[in-house]
Amino acid sequence: MGVLKIDKKEIDVNNSRKQDIESSFYYALSHEIRRKIIKLIGDNEYTSFTNLKKELKVSTGTIYHHLDTLSELIEKQANKKYYLTELGIYAYNSLKDNIETMTSTDSEFKSPILKKLTHITLKRFIVFDKKDKKYSILLSISIIIAGTILCGLNEFYAFLFFFMDFNHRELETIIEFLIRISFILNFIILFFIIEGITRIFYKKKESSMNFFISFAIILFPLIFYLSIHLIFKFTNLVGISIFNFIDKIFMVFFQVWSLWLLSYSLSVNKGLKIERSLIISLLLHYGGFTIILFFLV
């Protein structure tokens, strides 16, 4: 019983210590001057009181007050310079990470062309609230159905962001059926690959359901391509050199639009930096290409 009592006491002490550290961490980051102090030390590895005074442009008393508050995050060493503690380094990294994510996402999404692209694709269905959830689901289902029908009419099968011709006369019934529903299968495979990559490499497990619901919207531009190709096919324009060229330009354009939407969706739904999202898109697209080439060879 005695041992149990001591253990309980130790656990209580540990818990309250953890809470103290957590409180001081968030309290320290809650003030602009304290954030500046952490960034100043983090950027330069260490700093002196004189340098802090020069950079912050506030009174000596104010600096001492904030340095006291930051006692868990910084330490004054024998050379009278201030260094970050382990917790301070963690705070510095998290501050830097958040600022990079916010600024890069903001500035990139301000681009007029990218803004127009995301407007056409109805951004509100990628990042939807409760009210729009049912519309997002409806839109996603419509895109999948339309994609499947258009793929069938074009006699295409979908593979990642590519479409290939298929000759249904030489195929067995079951394979032909699988090819007919390749747009749906491709959608599911794509989702699991991307979800897997974000979970394994970036440890992002959040918003999986929302990401799944809005995932078909990523394929929305490809519906445009399939429609244009169908028009070319029914008007017998596919056989003409210039229309073949235009068809391929459309294919590239809509693929890139889809890749951009994928990057955007990963950024907003999974909280990934836009650069990381683009790496995933890049690997997926060119990885897909390598697989196609491998099968061809």
Partner 1 sequence: MELKKFLNFSLIGVIGSILLILSEFFSWFSEHNLIELYVITTDVAIEDSFLFLFPLISGIICLVASCLVIYKFKLKIKSVIISFVGLGFLIIFFIDYISQEINFLLNAGVGVYLGIAGFLLNLISLINLLITIER
Which tokens is 141 given?
């289902």
Does 23 bind partner 1 (CB under 8 A)? Our answer is no
Q: Least distance in Å: CB of 266 to partner 1?
A: 13
User: Binder to partner 1 among 85, 104, 208, 227 (CB under 8 A)?
Assistant: 104
Residue type, position 276, single letter:
R
Report the residue from 136, 255, 265, 269 that binds partner 1 according to the rule CB under 8 A.
Answer: 255
Give the binding range for partner 1 (CB under 8 A) out of 14-22, 40-48, 71-79, 101-109.
101-109
Distance of alpha carbon 198 from alpha carbon 268, whole angstroms: 13
Residue 273 interacts with partner 1 (CB under 8 A): yes or no: yes
Q: Check residue 157 for interaction with partner 1 (CB under 8 A).
A: no
As a whole number of angstroms, the distance between CA 198 and CA 213 comes to 17
Residue 177 CB-half CA count within 13 A: 3
The token duo for 284 is: 């997926």
Kindly state the tokens that stand for 41: 């030390």
Residues 189-248 that bind partner 1 (CB under 8 A): 238-242, 244-245, 248
Distance CA 153, CA 141 (A): 18
Asked if residue 289 binds partner 1 (CB under 8 A), the reply is: yes
Q: Which stretch in 119-127, 180-188, 217-225, 279-287 sits in contact with partner 1 by CB under 8 A?
A: 279-287
253 binds partner 1 (CB under 8 A): yes
Of the candidate spans 45-53, 66-74, 106-114, 118-126, the one that interacts with partner 1 by CB under 8 A turns out to be 106-114
Tell me the C-alpha distance between 278 and 127, whole Å. Answer: 18
Contact of 254 with 222, CB cutoff 8 Å: yes
By CB neighbour count within 10 A (0-12 exposed, 13-18 middle, 19+ buried), where does 237 fall? middle
Q: What are the residues binding partner 1 (CB under 8 A)?
A: 104, 107-108, 111, 113-114, 162, 238-242, 244-245, 248, 251-253, 255-256, 259-260, 273-276, 278-279, 281-282, 285-286, 289, 292-293, 296-297
